[in-house]
Amino acid sequence: MIGTGYVGLTTALMLCELNHQVVCIDTDTAKLKQLKSNRIPFHEPGLEELLNRHLSRGSLSFTSDTGQGVRESDILFITVGTPSKSDGSTDLSQIKNVAETIGSNQNGYKVVVNKSTAPVGTCEKVHRWILERQPRKLPVDVVCNPEFLREGKALYDALHPDRVVIGAENGKAARFIRNLYDAISCPKMMTGLRTAELIKYSANAFLAMKISFINEIGRLCDAHGVDVTDVATGIGLDSRIGSRFLKAGIGWGGSCFPKDLASLVHMFEQADLSPRILEAVRQVNDTQVEYYLRQLEERLGDVRGKTISILGIAFKPDTDDIREAPAIKVIQALHKKGAFLKAYDPVVFIHRAPTGLPVTLCSEMSETFEDSDCIFLLTEWKNFLHFDWKSHRHRMRTPLIIDGRNALDQNALTQYGYIYYGIGRVYSKLASL
Ligand SMILES: NC(=O)c1ccc[n+]([C@@H]2O[C@H](COP(=O)([O-])OP(=O)(O)OC[C@H]3O[C@@H](n4cnc5c(N)ncnc54)[C@H](O)[C@@H]3O)[C@@H](O)[C@H]2O)c1
Ligand SMILES: O=c1ccn([C@@H]2O[C@H](COP(=O)(O)OP(=O)(O)O[C@H]3O[C@H](CO)[C@@H](O)[C@H](O)[C@H]3O)[C@@H](O)[C@H]2O)c(=O)[nH]1
C-alpha cells in the first residue's frame, strides 16, 4: 500500500481483515512513527482497534523504504494524494513519483492498482511512467480500482461497499484484483481503465448535485414558507430519486467533492465541452455561505462587534478533517465583517489545531453560549443535538440559533425561547401540540 492516509490505511486494514498480508509505505516518517506505535494520526472511528489487532498479529507492517516495499510485493496499491492545482486540474506529481519509484525498483511481474482519484487517462500514464524507469523490460499491469469510502465511515464503507469497480485492459490482472475482494459480498463491476476513472468522478459529482439541488430548493422553501425536510422526504420516497444526500444545509465541503468537481470541470474544458450542470452545482454551493450570512444579518442586524459562536469546524461529523470545511469560510467571512468569534469542536482542536483561524477556542460546548449573540451550528456532531439547550438559553446575549445543518429540533428550541433559522425550515405549531 503506497500512502497511509484515509484511503491507504483503511484499504490496508480491510485487506488484513480479509487475511491478506500488507506492507504500508509512506514518505512521511512522523506519520509512520505514530502508526508503528498503534496510533492513528487522524480521527476515524474504528481504525485504531484494527491497527492494534493487525500489528500484533504481524499481518501489517510499515516502512518508509519504498524500494524495498516495491521489491517485496506482488500487488502495489497507489493511494497518494491528488490535490487540485489553481486551474482546477489535478496535480499528479505524487502519483508520478510513485510510478517512477515502482519502475526503478521493479524486480518481477507486478500488478499496480491505482486507488487515488485521478483524471481519465491517468492509469495509462502510470503504465508509461513505470516502463520508462524500468532497468530492464519487465511485465506490469495497471488496474484502476476507485475508492468510494466516506470519511467518518471509512471502515464500514471499505468492508461493506455498495460495489467494487475494477478497470483494466488485461483480464488476468482484473481477475487477480477481483479475487482479493472475494470475501466481500457486493456487485463487482469489471470494466475498462478509462471507464473506471470516470465512474469515480461521476459518482462524486452526482452526489454533490443532489445536495446542491436540495439546497436550491431550500431557498425557494424559505421564500414560500414550505419545509424543505418534508419536500426531501416526499421526493426521496420515489425509489428512482432515493432519500439519501438530500439534506439541505450550508453546503458540501471536504477533501473530495470540491477538488473532484474542479477536476471534472477541467476535463470537460480540455475536451472543449461546457459542463453546464456541474457549473450550476458548484455555483449553488459557492453562494450558500453568503445566503446564510444574509439570513443571520436579517435577524441580528450588523454583525460588527457582535459575538458569534461556531459549533463544529470539521466538514462533517466523525472526522477531524477541515479541508474545504464550510465552517472555515463562515469564520473568515464573519471575521471580515467585524464579528468576534468563539468556536467549539469536539475533535478538531484536539487532533489538528488549525493555525491562524481568528477564533477564541472554547474547551466545552457550554462556553459558546456565554454572552453570545448567535450560535451558528456548522457540523452536526451528535453531542450538539443531545445537548441541554433549554438550561443554557439565558447565558446568551441574543438567543439566535443559525442551524447550518438543519439538524436541531426547531420546535423544541422555539419553545425554549430561541430565535431559530434553518434553511427551508418552518415552525410547526402542530408538532408542538
Ligand atoms: N479521503 C477520502 O475520503 C477519500 C475517499 C476516496 C478517494 N480518495 C482519494 O484517495 C486519494 C488519497 O486520499 P487520502 O485522503 O487518503 O489522502 P491523504 O493526503 O490523507 O494521504 C496520502 C498519503 O500519501 C503519502 N504519500 C505522498 N507521496 C508519497 C510517496 N511518494 N510515497 C509514499 N507515500 C506518499 C502522504 O504522506 C500521505 O500520508 C486521493 O486521490 C483522494 O482523492 C479519498
Ligand atoms: O445530504 C447531505 C449529505 C452530505 N452533505 C455534505 O456533503 C459533504 C460530503 O459528505 P460525504 O459525502 O458524506 O463525505 P466524504 O467523506 O467527502 O465522501 C465523499 O467523497 C469521497 C471521496 O471521493 C467518496 O469516496 C465518497 O463516496 C463521497 O460520499 C459534507 O460536507 C456533508 O456535510 C450535505 O450537505 N447533505
Q: Is residue 152 part of a domain?
A: yes
Q: Whose CA is nearest to atom 5 of ligand 2?
A: 252
| Element of type H or E holding 401 | strand 400-403
Domain co-membership, 13 together with 101: yes
Alpha carbon nearest to ligand 2 atom 18, residue: 150
3-state secondary structure of 356: coil
**Ligand 1 pocket by Cβ (under 6 Å):** 2-8, 25-28, 31, 66, 79-82, 94, 97-98, 116-117, 147, 149, 151, 255-256
Q: What is the CATH number of the domain that holds 340?
A: 3.40.50.720
- Measure the CA–CA gap between 229 and 422, rounded to whole angstroms: 10
Tell me whether residue 1 is in a domain. no
Q: Are residues 97 and 239 in the same domain?
A: no
Strand partners, 332: none
Q: Is residue 86 part of a domain?
A: yes
Residue nearest to atom 27 of ligand 2 (CA): 148
Q: Tell me the CA–centroid distance for residue 80 and ligand 1, in Å.
A: 4
Candidates 123, 256, 362, 374; catalytic one:
256
288-300 vs 326-336: helix crossing angle, rounded to 10: 50
- The pLDDT value given to residue 430: 58
pLDDT reported for residue 432 = 47
Nearest CA to ligand 1 atom 21: 5
Q: Which residue, 305, 116, 326, is CA-closest to 211?
A: 326
Final residue belonging to a domain, choices 191, 221, 254: 191
One DSSP character per residue, 135-180 reads SS---EEEEE------TTSHHHHHHS-S-EEEEES-HHHHHHHHHH
Binding residues: 26, 31, 82, 117, 148-151, 200, 245-249, 253, 259, 316, 323
Query: Which value, to the nearest 10 degrees, does the dihedral of the CA atoms of residues 178, 181, 182, 187 take?
Result: -80
Q: Could you say which of 286, 316, 344 is where a domain stops? A: 286
Q: Are residues 168 and 309 in the same domain?
A: no
In the residue annotation, 256 being an active-site residue is answered as yes
User: Within this chain, do residues 115 and 12 fall inside the same structural domain, yes or no?
Assistant: yes
Task: Return the amino acid letter for 301.
Answer: G
Which residues in the chain come in under a pLDDT of 50?
432-433
* Whole-number pLDDT of residue 428: 74
Q: Has residue 118 been placed in a domain?
A: yes
In a domain, 62, yes or no: yes
Asked if 300 and 268 sit in the same domain, the reply is no
Look at residue 116 and tell me if it is in a domain: yes
Instruction: Say whether both 276 and 309 belong to one domain.
Output: no
SS3 188: strand
Cα 79 off chain centre by: 15
Same structural domain, 175 and 206: no
Residues 334 and 382 in one domain: yes
The reply to whether ligand 2 has any atom less than 6 angstroms from the CB of 218 is no
Domain that holds residue 216: 201-286
Known binding residues for substrate are 148-151, 200, 245-249, 253, 316
Q: What per-residue confidence (pLDDT) applies to 431?
A: 56
Q: Is the domain of 60 the same as that of 178?
A: yes
Which H or E element spans position 93? Answer: helix 93-105
Regarding whether 364 and 316 lie in a shared domain, the answer is yes
Give the model's pLDDT for residue 429: 62
Instruction: Identify whether residues 58 and 71 lie together within a single domain.
Output: yes
d(CA 406, CA 254): 18
In this prediction, residue 353 carries a pLDDT of: 58
Same domain, 346 and 406: yes
- Asked whether this complex has an ipTM greater than 0.90, the answer is yes
| Domain count across the chain | 3
**What value does the mean pLDDT of the chain take?**
96
Query: Atom of ligand 2 at shortest distance to CA of 210?
Result: 1
The pick from 43, 214, 252 for probing ligand 2's pocket by mutation, whose C-beta has the most ligand atoms within 8 angstroms, reads 252
Residue 354, pLDDT score: 66
196 in any annotated domain:
no
- Give the pLDDT confidence of 356-369 residue by residue, as tens digits: 889 999 999 999 99
Q: CA-CA distances (angstroms) from residue 239 to 135, 210, 235?
A: 55, 14, 9
* Residue 26 maps to a domain: yes
What's the pLDDT score for residue 433?
A: 44
pLDDT at 383: 96
Domain boundary residue among 191, 210, 227?
A: 191
